[in-house]
């Protein structure tokens, strides 16, 4: 596939405008972008996937309902407050946001998607957010993709965006994306938001399929701390403004479109892991030779989520003993005496026993910022791969308290 990187983030595809403003959601005394808007000048096909956590934030419930009912054409997103566990008030806040911003854009309420990320359990400070809607809409422009990527950051240390131009059939289309992640990243998504825009002209059926399979191969394969958030959302808007012919379901072009979406999602997903809270290593855990797909996945996830394995990576210790112990408790079918473990391509364990590779070589690999752990079970043909990180003392330190949030809510009269 002929992919070229281009500039512009979510504004790179034709017909998309964006803006972000500072509403002081987390802290009114700090000036930072925390309220964002993405808007398509043309009607869109839209598709999304949402958290499977049974505790869903209000904006997730609202956006899911709106996307079923209508054709979403704009997204309002905020950081600093997740609007989760906020009951009827939270739902009302999310709906009101859709109604007011939608009206200013000339859209129906249900053509809006609403997304939030931040602390759980505190009401939204709507008295600071609502007065900003005018500025948010008035400032829409075709060169503000970056601002949106910045406004959705929470504990992210850097913004994440990508935009590409890709040839589908005989026509070039553009795909842009931004995402936020940091803690709580786990298969089945995370406090993770990802917005993707494209000017491809794609049928609803093809778009839906492309989003589902791409999420499965990207966001559902990353894990930082084994937690899963109430707010995870991936939304893709396709406005057809490229002028290319419609991409129909099951066509060759639909396959190419899916590849493009998957490319973008994988870039975003892996960049989330790299920027995980206080993460120092990016580790690919690749399981081969499992009896079933589910077994391969169980093994990969058990290893990638083990606190002891992740601690050893933080210590640059190529500790295959802890890896095989996680393989053992994964509940997958395994035979200890068949298990091979390679670290960065070097055998650490063969047939369940320590391999001959000199420890110094393995330690050099574990000292790198990025390496692969490959586990071959030699029981079948199923594979699975996840992308993960180490677990650092600083992660825990960082996550010890969210008290600052509560103090602000108290000041706001909301707690």
Contact between 359 and a second copy by CB under 8 A: the answer reads: yes
Residues marked as catalytic: 191
**Cα separation values, 272 from 185, 227, 234, Å:** 8, 14, 14
Q: Residue 319, annotated ligand binder?
A: no
Per CB under 8 A, the list member of 65, 127, 141, 307 interacting with a second copy is: 307
Contact between 314 and a second copy by CB under 8 A: the answer reads: yes
Q: Residue 157, annotated ligand binder?
A: no
Contact between 367 and a second copy by CB under 8 A: the answer reads: no
Q: State in angstroms the smallest separation of the CB of 99 from a second copy.
A: 23
Q: State in angstroms the smallest separation of the CB of 154 from a second copy.
A: 13
Stretch that binds a second copy, among 18-26, 42-50, 124-132, 220-228 (CB under 8 A): 220-228
Stretch that binds a second copy, among 1-9, 41-49, 248-256, 333-341 (CB under 8 A): 333-341
Contact between 410 and a second copy by CB under 8 A: the answer reads: yes
Contact between 345 and a second copy by CB under 8 A: the answer reads: no
Per CB under 8 A, the list member of 184, 273, 290, 303 interacting with a second copy is: 184
Contact between 368 and a second copy by CB under 8 A: the answer reads: no
Stretch that binds a second copy, among 33-41, 146-154, 242-250, 347-355 (CB under 8 A): 347-355
Q: State in angstroms the smallest separation of the CB of 398 from a second copy.
A: 8
Q: State in angstroms the smallest separation of the CB of 388 from a second copy.
A: 13
Contact between 178 and a second copy by CB under 8 A: the answer reads: no
Stretch that binds a second copy, among 115-123, 142-150, 235-243, 281-289 (CB under 8 A): 115-123
Is there a contact between 24 and 34 (Cβ–Cβ < 8 Å)?
Answer: yes
Give which of 226, 240, 150, 224 is closest to 193, Cα–Cα.
150
Contact between 403 and a second copy by CB under 8 A: the answer reads: yes
Is there a contact between 109 and 66 (Cβ–Cβ < 8 Å)?
Answer: yes
Contact between 413 and a second copy by CB under 8 A: the answer reads: no
**Residues in the site for a second copy, rule: CB under 8 A?**
52-56, 84-87, 119-122, 183-184, 186, 188, 225-230, 305-308, 311-312, 314-317, 319-322, 324-329, 334, 336-337, 339, 349, 351-354, 359, 363, 391-397, 399-403, 406, 410, 415
Binding residues for substrate: 154, 180, 191, 277, 399
Binding residues: 154, 180, 191, 277, 399
């Amino acid at each position: 596939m002929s992919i070229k990187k281009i500039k512009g983030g979510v504004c790179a595809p034709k017909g998309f405008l964006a803006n972000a403003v500072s509403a002081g959601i987390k802290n009114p005394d700090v000036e930072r972008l925390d309220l964002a808007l993405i808007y398509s000048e043309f009607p869109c096909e839209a598709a999304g996937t949402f958290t499977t956590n049974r505790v869903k934030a209000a904006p997730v419930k609202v956006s899911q309902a709106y996307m079923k009912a209508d054709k979403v054409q704009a997204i309002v997103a905020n950081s600093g407050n997740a609007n989760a566990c906020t009951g009827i008030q939270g739902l009302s806040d999310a709906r009101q946001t859709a109604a007011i911003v939608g009206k200013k854009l000339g859209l129906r309420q249900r053509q809006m998607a609403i997304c939030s990320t931040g602390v759980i359990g505190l009401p939204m400070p709507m008295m600071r957010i609502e007065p900003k809607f005018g500025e948010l809409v008035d400032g829409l422009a075709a060169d503000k993709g970056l601002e949106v990527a910045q406004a959705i950051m929470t504990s992210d240390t850097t913004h994440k965006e990508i935009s590409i131009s890709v040839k589908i059939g005989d026509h070039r289309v553009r795909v842009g994306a931004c995402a936020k992640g940091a803690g709580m990243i786990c298969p089945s998504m995370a406090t993770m938001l990802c917005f993707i825009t494209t000017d491809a002209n794609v049928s609803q059926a093809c778009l839906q399929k492309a989003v589902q399979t791409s999420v499965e191969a990207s966001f559902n394969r990353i894990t930082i701390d084994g937690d899963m958030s109430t707010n995870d959302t991936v939304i893709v808007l396709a406005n057809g403004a490229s002028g290319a012919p419609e991409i129909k379901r099951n066509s060759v072009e639909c396959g190419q479109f899916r590849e493009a979406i998957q490319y973008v999602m994988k870039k975003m997903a892996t960049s989330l892991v790299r920027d995980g809270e206080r993460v120092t290593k990016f580790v690919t855990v690749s399981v081969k030779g499992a009896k079933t797909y589910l077994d391969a996945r169980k093994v990969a996830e058990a290893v990638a989520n083990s606190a002891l394995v992740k601690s050893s990576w933080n210590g640059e210790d190529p500790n295959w003993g802890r890896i095989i112990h996680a393989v053992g408790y994964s509940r997958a079918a395994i035979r200890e005496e068949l298990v091979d473990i390679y670290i960065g391509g070097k055998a650490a364990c063969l047939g369940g026993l320590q391999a001959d590779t000199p420890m110094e070589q393995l330690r050099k690999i574990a000292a790198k910022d990025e390496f692969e752990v490959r586990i071959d079970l030699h029981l079948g043909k199923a594979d699975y791969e996840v992308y993960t990180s180490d677990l650092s003392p600083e992660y825990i330190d960082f996550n010890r308290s969210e008290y600052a949030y509560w103090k602000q809510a108290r000041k706001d009269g909301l707690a």
